[in-house]
Structure 1
């Protein structure tokens, strides 16, 4: 997979897409942040999800000539927020050492989360995954897609929704519609289900401007990000096969 573009190039691409306007930031803020950040190759520039939610970013995705979309049964996508992860308190931040987690394909989120923690890594947020694909479209390939289990939805009773967000390429089946075949798709899979075509995207750490001293990833435990006890899960729409 190609290395992420330089931070200055990432900033320009986000500006061209209008992400700075969505975030309520002047273009010069993105440019200066990128220019002043002494970042290693492969560092991702991200806008804090409080500034731009996933629902606003998803339509900016492109695969060929197809725009991205959120599946119809995930109208609550913006309620999937960081779970067990401390983000920098800033509108812009960096994520280092991004990995798609192909080696975890056919693992369940329940299995992948503690393994990432043992490696000193934290799962990507949904918004971070979208930022990654915006600036590195090759990160999303058919049958080589990824989950972003750092974002979870907490229900009113305090338990976590058993859905976990993911990014993949639509086959244009079911409610997606044939016209969306080949489009980048924000969807979900069950906490305890496995999928051969989904890895688990993660980062070494997050920080502001100096990626050599990232903010502490935070203790991310299965209890913090896991599903409800006793939730067996099942196959969501388009999740048995890459649809």
Structure 2
């Protein structure tokens, strides 16, 4: 761990440690068939990546923006296995996958090929926004301006990672589409609140919702 000004622990390192520890506490190593030590070792190279990819001075996350998010991909864990680990801030009720995805569940969804999602068990998202400015805008209409800004819509696993590390990002009237994952039809997955818990559902790409924005990130980075 590096030290910040005055000899105190570097705030980026503290944020990175918190995310790794949270994944271990939730049981991600076991789901991936790994020991906690091996899982931590897999994540560790991304610490250096985060220091290079996140410009200083380090700014802590808010409800609508995160400096970086550690993503555990589908190469290690299935989305259906980790949605039930989600909770809202201050709540104990666990996440669910909407049954309206159909008999195949989340299996048909794939990241859009143009996103160049890393082929890695874990990777880093930077400059993550939940995208509330796109509330009330059809997902099909929100995507072009996101791409024009050089940003990238989030995938299902990335949206799960956001709520895992920052449950306060999901709140009433501020939920978000995950337009980076599609299944070859007009369905767009989304993360919202059902009752007192997160739910991974979907909406039609042509339907606007006043409570659903479109989440995005600036970059994705795998360890070298």
Match of 2:112 among 83, 91, 106: 83
Structure 2 counterpart SS, 1:93: strand
Q: Distance in 1 between matches of 2:29 and 2:107?
A: 18
> Could you report, residue by residue, the CA deviation over 1:159-192 in whole angstroms, capped at 9, with x for unpaired residues?
x21111001111xxxxxxxxxx211111110011
Please list, as runs of the form range in 1=range in 2, the aligned pairs for 1:212-231 lying within 5 A after superposition.
none
Match of 2:199 in 1: 185
Match of 2:144 in 1: 114
Q: Distance in 2 between matches of 1:95 and 1:29?
A: 21
Aligned length: 192
Alpha-carbon contact 1:55-1:78 (below 8 Å) kept:
no
- Per mean C-alpha deviation after superposition, the further-off stretch among 51-60 and 187-196 is 51-60
Structure 1 residue 91: Cα displacement: 1.0
Q: Distance in 2 between matches of 1:80 and 1:57?
A: 16
Match of 1:20 in 2: 29
Structure 1 counterpart SS, 2:200: strand
Match of 1:55 among 52, 73, 80: 80
Structure 1 residue 100: Cα displacement: 0.5
Match of 1:93 in 2: 123
Match of 1:32 in 2: 41
1:70 aligns with 2:70: no
Q: Distance in 1 between matches of 2:39 and 2:166?
A: 18
1:206 aligns with 2:215: no
The 3 A distance-change label for structure 1 pair 151 and 208 is same
> Could you report, residue by residue, the CA deviation over 1:2-34 in whole angstroms, capped at 9, with x for unpaired residues?
x9x712211111111111221233322432344
Q: Relative to total residues, which structure has the larger helix share, 1 or 2?
A: 2
Alpha-carbon contact 2:75-2:120 (below 8 Å) kept:
no
Match of 1:195 in 2: 209
Alpha-carbon contact 1:71-1:187 (below 8 Å) kept:
yes
Structure 1 residue 131: Cα displacement: 1.0
Match of 1:139 in 2: 169
> Could you report, residue by residue, the CA deviation over 1:45-100 in whole angstroms, capped at 9, with x for unpaired residues?
11122321221111001120211001111142132111122121221110111001
TM-score, length basis structure 2: 0.80
Gaps of at least 5 residues in structure 2 are: 1-11, 59-66
Match of 2:134 in 1: 104
